[in-house]
Structure 1
Amino acid sequence: MEIEELVSHCIDKGYRLHRDLGPGLLESVYEALLFEGLRRDGLIVHRQGAVAVEHDGIVIENGFRFDLLVEDKLLIEIKSTERHAAVHAKQVLTYLRLMDLRIGLLMNFGRGTFKDGLQRLVNNYRRTAGSQS
């Protein structure tokens, strides 16, 4: 599945989840249901994967955990908050950069409509030959 088709599929799945259940559940509930739904659709999905973070020769093996990674190319971060916080988008962009991925979705199921809680984020950072993360 091409990345744009994958993004559309995941957005549709998230929309239906929000439509059917509404806002107000814990983040972990939306995450588990989206994970199982995408797997049921035949996609390869990893949940709560640990990612190492390296800086200045120091490696933290479990630097952070992502919510969902679909087909090893689309990161989905799940939130369930009433308000939008700019830090959530920054978090996704940092995860994308550290995982060397191009596209991520921030799905906030706590908003009144799915559209209000959805953000598509694109990592424009490209490592150069001499750079280190």
Structure 2
Amino acid sequence: MGLAKDAPYSDITYKIIGAAMEVHNKLGPGHKEIVYQKALSAKMLEAGLSFEEEKPIEIFIDDVSVGLLYLDHLVEGTVVVEEKAFSHLLTNEEIAQVITYLAATGLPVGLLLNFGRKRLEFKRIFPPKKLEGWQKRIQRYLWKPSIR
């Protein structure tokens, strides 16, 4: 979980991770996700980051709106941040959720934060370079509209 200084948007992700660490150090594990989300908003504001909370992203098929995804945070218009409060380690399912958000928005980087463990767990996630194999691997995790 090292911080790659040469990764794209590392200046922004570094500030977000710092704010998340401050939240985790003050609150510790055991709270609901919304508590961490609100606390992270406050700390990112203090850090001078601009963001949107619970940002709705509309999903379209052939100009028809088929649903909405909600990003926990969209920071500086470039970084998708997804917060979790799980007592278990992050899994491929949570990673796939962030990749889905990146695919839906076309944004360059995501951060997955887990506040539910003794130590803050974080992963910096980038969209895959080749979509064909990637789509097959995470198909079961992608959002699907309900059929009525």
Which of the five TM-score ranges fits, normalised by the shorter chain? 0.7 to 0.9
Structure 2: gaps spanning 5 or more residues = 1-7, 132-148
Q: Deviations over 1:43-77 (max 9, x none)?
A: 211000110001244313x5111100110001110
Asked whether the equivalents of residues 30 and 109 of structure 1 are also in contact (C-alpha less than 8 Å), the reply is: yes
1:12 and 2:18 are equivalent in the alignment: yes
C-alpha separation in 2, matches of 1:87 and 1:56: 27
Q: TM-score, with normalisation over the residues of structure 1?
A: 0.84
Root mean square deviation, CA, Å: 1.8
Structure 1: gaps spanning 5 or more residues = 128-133
1:86 and 2:92 are equivalent in the alignment: yes
Residue-pair matches, total: 123
4+ residue runs over 6 A deviation: none
> How does 1:1-133 map onto structure 2 within 5 Å?
3-60=9-66, 62-83=67-88, 84-114=90-120, 117-125=121-129
SS at match of 1:118: strand
Residue type matched to 1:45 in 2? F
C-alpha separation in 2, matches of 1:5 and 1:126: 26
C-alpha separation in 2, matches of 1:19 and 1:40: 16
Q: Deviations over 1:1-40 (max 9, x none)?
A: x821111111111111111211111100000111121122
Asked whether the equivalents of residues 46 and 69 of structure 1 are also in contact (C-alpha less than 8 Å), the reply is: yes
Asked whether the equivalents of residues 97 and 125 of structure 1 are also in contact (C-alpha less than 8 Å), the reply is: no
SS at match of 1:96: helix
